[in-house]
A = this chain, B = another copy of it.
Amino acid sequence: MNLSRLFVEADLSAGVEVSLSETQAHYLRHVVRREEGARLSLFNGRDGEWSATLSLRGKRDAAARVGACLRAQEAEPDLWLCFAPIKRARIDFIAEKATELGVAVLQPVLTRHTAVERVNVERLRANAIEAAEQTERLTVPDVREPIDLGRLLDRWPPERRLLMCDETGGGPPIAEALAGLDDASRTSPWAIVIGPEGGFAQSELAALHRMSNVTAVGLGPRILRADTAALAALACWQALLGDWRKPTPRLVNDYRTSRTVT
């Protein structure tokens, strides 16, 4: 666990001083007990990752003095996760795990059988930021406002393929379906679409199957909860089409802040 890697909004470049939020200051002082001058690393989703040192000011404030650039900016694969909101612990879990598994966009989708209508987007964002800090991403997923499934499909970008986990069964196995794609489909932007615990309504299933660029898949003989299906589909997509096809970078130090591909 990397306890000193922080997401900030500010621009990052050598020599600047960046104010930390009250939550970050509290965390560094009182939870992980960092002292003046402690080593940090910072990222903002745009400028790569930078070393920094902690500067404690007054009782509550803290700032970070930015040093050298540790890693150049890089993007995650262009993968959305479109999921129906579920109850609190499980939706927090989706935000955390999907961030670790490298999604670019988290899109809550309201469906006819969605049990939970209100989504605390700010809380999801906080979960995504914390997970991005831990998982060594250089970006934080874009957590979007909830949208009705019909409206989402009406304005669907034509070049983005949908991987639809069809809980009614009959979908071809996910590995077979993804292996059978042509090169253009393999390298296009993607979205994984997961229904609510109650399943998609018949009309919603029909609308999804009518999309020109949909790949419906099955995830085996057991009934999966929505959060499990989301995770499992993300892992399979990354392994078969995403950046897990590249060798894993080797860790080069204890702080896991700097990596090199061997």
Chain B CB within 8 A of A221 CB: yes
Residues of B within 8 A of A168 (CB): 250-251
Interface residues on A, range: 35 or more
Chain B CB within 8 A of A182 CB: no
Q: How far is the CA of A232 from the CA of B248 in the complex (A)?
A: 15
Q: Which of A203-255 contact B (CB under 8 A)?
A: 218-225, 228, 231-236, 238-240, 242-251
Check A173–B246 contact: CB distance below 8 A.
Answer: yes
Interface residues as binary, A27-52 with B (CB distance below 8 Å gives 1, 0 otherwise): 00000000000000000000000000
Interface residues as binary, A158-191 with B (CB distance below 8 Å gives 1, 0 otherwise): 0000000011111111111000000000000000
- Return the contact of A171 from the options B218, B220, B231, B248 (Cβ within 8 A): B248
- Return the contact of A175 from the options B219, B245, B251 (Cβ within 8 A): B245
Considering only CB atoms, which chain B residue lies closest to A167 in the complex?
B251
Q: Knowing A93-B93, A100-B228, A169-B259 are in contact, say whether A220-B248 is a contact too (CB < 8 A).
A: yes
Chain B CB within 8 A of A135 CB: yes
Check A228–B170 contact: CB distance below 8 A.
Answer: no
Considering only CB atoms, which chain B residue lies closest to A174 in the complex?
B239
Chain B CB within 8 A of A108 CB: no
Residues of B within 8 A of A102 (CB): 220, 222
Q: How far is the CA of A240 from the CA of B220 in the complex (A)?
A: 11
- Return the contact of A236 from the options B220, B224, B239, B256 (Cβ within 8 A): B239
Chain B CB within 8 A of A73 CB: no
Check B248–A221 contact: CB distance below 8 A.
Answer: yes
Check A220–B243 contact: CB distance below 8 A.
Answer: yes
Check A238–B223 contact: CB distance below 8 A.
Answer: no
Q: Knowing A235-B236, A244-B173 are in contact, say whether A1-B220 is a contact too (CB < 8 A).
A: no
- Return the contact of A170 from the options B135, B218, B240, B248 (Cβ within 8 A): B248
Given A137-B222, A171-B248, A220-B243, 4 extra CB contacts under 8 A: A175-B240, A220-B244, A235-B235, A239-B240
